[in-house]
């Protein structure tokens, strides 16, 4: 078990890449695009650059090779994450505390604004969809909290105070 802050995380932060089922499916979709569409686009760009002649001073060729290297690196990263993924099974995670995969209803103590967040890993974080990473300042502070707890969150702009109103899965 790896504790974050002073909170007991119940063993839910051990080795491996934690993902929700949707998050793993999204990574698989991204991988498929990189292996098919992106590889084909890069191959076409490389062929066009080769047709321009001298490869030693060919900026288009160098650019296409760099794109190929970046794409292949990303493919390896995604394959590794998918291979080592530990899919979160909400049935085996306590619902009384905020762990990965928890949907939280919060209220900002100062502004009285209500908000909904879902705690996810960095790979799944998307603030526009209310999915916040457990490694972000807000995510770290909420992790392990119970209903009724007030999380004091240190951010560059000061301290946010969120009260947990509801936790669901």
Structure tokens at 51: 């047709």
Same-domain check for residues 45 and 106: no
pLDDT band at 165 (very low <50, low <70, confident <90, very high): very high
Classify residue 105 as left (phi > 0), alpha (psi -120 to 50) or beta.
Answer: beta
Same structural domain for residues 70 and 102?
Answer: no
CA-closest candidate to residue 142, choices 92, 104, 115: 104
Confidence of residue 14 (pLDDT cuts 50, 70, 90): very low
Query: Which pLDDT score, from 0 to 100, does residue 91 have?
Result: 60
DSSP, res 14: -
Average pLDDT of the segment spanning 101-111: 93
- Give the domain CATH number at 118: 3.10.50.30
Q: For residue 92, what pLDDT is reported? A: 65
Q: Are residues 54 and 102 in the same domain?
A: no
pTM over 0.95: no
pLDDT single digits (tens) 44-84: 999 998 888 777 778 889 999 999 999 999 999 999 999 99
Is residue 31 domain-shared with residue 75, that is, in the same domain? yes
Which CATH number fits the domain that encloses residue 65? 1.10.287.180
Total domains in the chain come to: 2
Q: Which two tokens stand for residue 126?
A: 């998307």
- Provide DSSP, 96-124: SB--TT-EEEEEETTT--EEEEEEE-GGG
Structural domain including 40 reads 21-87
């Amino acid at each position: 078990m790896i504790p974050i802050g002073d909170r007991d995380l119940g063993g839910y932060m051990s080795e491996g890449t934690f993902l929700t089922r949707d998050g793993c499916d999204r990574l698989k979709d991204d991988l498929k695009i990189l292996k098919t569409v992106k590889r084909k686009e890069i191959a076409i760009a490389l062929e066009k650059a080769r047709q321009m002649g001298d490869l030693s001073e060919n900026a288009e060729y160098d650019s296409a090779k760099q794109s190929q290297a970046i794409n292949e690196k990303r493919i390896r990263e995604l394959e590794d994450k998918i291979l080592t993924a530990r899919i979160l099974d909400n049935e085996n995670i306590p619902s009384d505390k905020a762990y990965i995969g928890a949907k939280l209803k919060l209220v900002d103590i100062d502004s009285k604004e209500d908000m909904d967040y879902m705690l996810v890993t960095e790979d799944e974080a998307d603030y526009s969809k209310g999915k916040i990473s457990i490694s972000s300042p807000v995510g770290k502070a909420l992790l392990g909290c119970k209903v009724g707890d007030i999380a004091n969150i240190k951010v560059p702009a000061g301290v946010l105070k969120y009260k947990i109103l509801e936790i669901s899965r």
